[in-house]
Structures are given as structure tokens and as C-alpha cells.
């Protein structure tokens, strides 16, 4: 069954077709073609960027203080603890921090695993992207959720620094609220956002260490949970040093030229390069690269009755623009 689903996706993604007929399909095709979670207890397998999840739960499209975005990607699934944390953060931030509600981006695919596009992580149901754009005071249409762009927090001058007219104290409170939860392992933010937090945050700095600078992450922040109880096959990430707030040497490195400098080209070989041996396996990630349990996750049955939250609505296509009227037709130039 998994190969039938994968073939259907392969037909629409010719760039991902294996180079040779005997090559197995990319793991991202297998997992990207799954539309439902498994009917099993929740378990994460492997590491955040090399694994899968069974028994995932879907974040409802709408809640009192959140709205899910980019529904066509079908990435609203995560460990139940991840879903519960997103809902809790949305409530707490609205009640205590002046944040009207969350716009929630990618969590994981229904069975996790590598994604067809975008993230390297988000594979085990323990990562979630939260937009730095507050939820509007109305329900967005399905089409709007595809088309609306998140707002960058950076100055529009090519620097790494935030625009203080965009990045406000409410943003600061939201980030520190998210970092305060004990199940949160770390939060990825842009280095400029980390710098602003180091300079401007006047509250309890205990959890400032959890804000980790990384490339991107100026439109959204990325919450990562610890491996959850009941998932012995989940591989933990190195712990954050909570005694170091991350505002010193580490941040200075991110704000230097070094992380952004293009890689130097490799020097030419002194001797003619020997022909490379024929590869014995594909260069892309295949199912056998993932934890063994992920094959069973792919083959597992879906729930007999999917909860309404797990159903992805059909996204209406934007209306076709009317054909422009034909303007005046020029008079042909006389011959001769």
C-alpha cells in the first residue's frame, strides 16, 4: 500500500524520482504521501531530523486563541503533548501577555518523517512553528491561510537587527512564556531576536538560555519539546546549559561575519581526480536510514473513525482573473 501512495506522489514530483529503477523511493515521498495518523499510542522514534511518529494528534484548524496556517501542507500533526502545549501557550499568552492568539505553522506530517519540502527537522512530532504575526480578530478563510505572509521582525536594511516598531514587548512576553514551560527543550529564534531579548528583557531571565539563535526564524519561532515519557525510541538532543543565558560569546559569534560568510571553494586537486566508484546506495534519505520502527509506522492502520480535527479541508483555488479586454487594434502600415 505504501508503494502505491508513493508512486502517486512521485508522478507529481519528477525531480525526486530515483536515478535508477532499482533504487528505493525517497523517504520523504513515502511519508509525504500519508494523509492520516496511525491508530496506535503516541510514540516518537529517532531524532528530530531523522525519525517518525505513531499515534499523532492533529491540532484543530481553529481554536479560541489560535488558527492553523498553510492547511494544504497537512502538517498539523504532533505528539499529543505538543498539541496540548500549543493550545496552552495560546490561552496563557492571550490571558497574561496581551497576545491575541497564535497563528500556527508547521508541526509534523500525519506520521512524521522527512517532509516533501522545507524542514529537515519536524519529523517526530515534537517541533512546532509559531508565527510572530499575531492572530487577527476574525477567522481567516482557507484561502487566506495559504496566501497571507508572515511579517519579518528585522529591519529592512540588510542587517541582523530587529525593527523595534515590529518586534514589541508583547513579542518578548510571548517568547518567554513559551520558554517557561518545563516540557520545552529549546526555542529557535533569529540571532537579531536573541540580541533584542538579551538587551531588553527585564523580567525573569531564568529561561532566556532556551532561546537559541539560528539561521532564519525571523518570521516565526520554533518550539522544540523534550522527548516525551512513553517514547523510549526517541533520541534526546544535548541539553541546553541553563547556567549560561546565551548572551555572551555564542551570540557574539552569530552576530559576526563568520556564520554568514560563503564557504570557500575547495582548492583544485594536485593530481587528476580518480573516477568515483559507482554509489552503492542513493544519495537521498531512504526508509532504511530511519529507525526500524518507522517502517511499521508507515504500514500501520489509520483510526477507524478519524476525529474531525484530523481531516484536512479542500482549499479553494483562487478565482481566475478575467481576461483583459483587447485594446485598440493598430491600423496595418500601408505596403510600400
pLDDT per residue of the chain (336 residues) written in tens, 0 to 9: 555 555 445 544 544 445 555 789 999 999 999 999 999 999 999 999 999 999 999 999 999 999 999 999 999 999 999 999 999 999 999 999 999 999 999 999 999 999 998 889 999 999 999 999 999 999 999 999 999 999 999 999 889 999 999 999 999 999 999 999 999 999 999 999 999 999 999 999 999 999 999 999 999 999 999 999 999 999 999 999 999 999 999 999 999 999 998 888 888 877 777 777 777 788 899 999 999 999 999 999 999 888 888 888 888 766 554 544 444 434 333 333
Is residue 271 situated within a structural domain? no
C-alpha torsion angle, residues 208, 128, 229, 30 (rounded to 10): -150
Is residue 156 situated within a structural domain? yes
Question: CATH number of the domain that 123 lies in?
Answer: 3.30.1380.10
What backbone phi and psi angles, to 5 degrees, belong to 131?
-65, 150
Is residue 320 situated within a structural domain? no
* Distance from chain centroid for Cα 170: 23
Domain that holds residue 121: 2-258+286-302
Report DSSP state, residue 3. H
Q: What is the pTM of this model?
A: 0.86
Is residue 265 situated within a structural domain? no
Is residue 124 situated within a structural domain? yes
Is residue 325 situated within a structural domain? no
Overall domain count for the chain: 1
Is residue 61 situated within a structural domain? yes
Is residue 218 situated within a structural domain? yes
Q: With b meaning 16 or more CB within 10 Å and e meaning fewer, what string describes 74-95?
A: bbbbbbebbbebbbebbbbbbe
Amino acid at each position: 500500500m505504501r508503494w502505491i501512495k508513493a508512486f502517486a506522489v512521485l508522478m507529481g514530483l519528477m525531480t525526486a524520482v530515483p536515478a535508477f529503477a532499482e533504487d528505493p523511493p525517497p523517504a520523504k515521498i513515502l511519508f509525504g504521501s500519508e494523509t492520516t495518523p496511525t491508530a496506535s499510542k503516541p510514540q516518537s522514534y529517532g531524532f528530530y531530523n531523522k525519525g517518525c511518529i505513531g499515534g499523532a494528534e492533529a491540532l484543530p484548524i481553529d481554536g479560541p486563541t489560535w488558527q492553523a496556517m498553510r492547511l494544504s501542507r497537512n502538517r498539523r500533526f504532533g505528539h499529543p503533548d505538543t498539541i496540548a502545549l500549543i493550545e496552552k501557550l495560546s490561552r496563557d499568552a492571550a490571558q497574561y501577555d496581551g497576545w491575541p492568539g497564535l497563528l500556527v505553522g508547521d508541526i509534523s506530517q500525519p506520521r512524521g518523517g522527512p517532509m516533501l519540502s522545507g524542514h529537515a527537522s519536524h519529523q517526530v512530532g515534537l517541533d512546532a512553528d509559531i508565527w510572530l504575526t499575531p492572530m487577527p480578530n476574525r477567522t481567516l478563510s482557507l484561502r487566506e491561510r495559504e496566501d497571507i505572509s508572515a511579517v519579518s521582525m528585522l529591519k529592512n536594511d540588510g542587517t541582523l537587527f530587529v525593527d523595534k516598531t515590529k518586534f514589541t514587548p508583547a513579542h518578548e512576553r510571548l517568547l518567554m512564556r513559551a520558554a517557561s514551560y518545563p516540557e520545552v527543550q529549546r526555542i529557535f529564534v533569529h540571532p537579531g531576536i536573541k540580541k533584542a531579548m538579551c538587551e531588553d528583557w527585564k523580567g525573569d531571565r531564568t529561561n532566556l538560555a532556551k532561546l537559541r539563535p539560528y539561521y532564519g526564524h525571523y518570521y516565526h519561532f520554533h518550539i522544540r519539546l523534550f522527548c516525551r515519557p512513553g517514547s523510549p525510541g526517541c533520541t534526546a538532543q544535548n541539553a541546553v546549559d541553563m547556567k549560561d543565558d546565551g548572551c555572551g560569546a555564542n551570540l557574539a559569534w552569530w552576530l559576526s561575519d563568520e556564520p554568514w560568510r560563503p564557504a570557500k571553494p575547495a582548492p583544485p586537486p594536485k593530481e587528476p581526480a580518480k573516477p568515483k566508484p559507482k554509489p552503492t546506495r542513493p544519495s537521498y534519505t531512504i526508509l532504511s536510514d530511519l529507525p526500524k520502527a518507522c517502517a511499521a509506522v508507515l504500514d500501520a492502520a489509520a483510526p477507524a473513525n478519524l476525529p474531525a480535527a484530523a481531516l484536512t479541508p479542500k482549499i479553494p483555488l483562487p478565482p481566475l482573473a478575467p481576461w483583459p479586454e483587447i485594446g485598440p487594434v493598430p491600423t496595418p502600415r500601408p505596403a510600400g
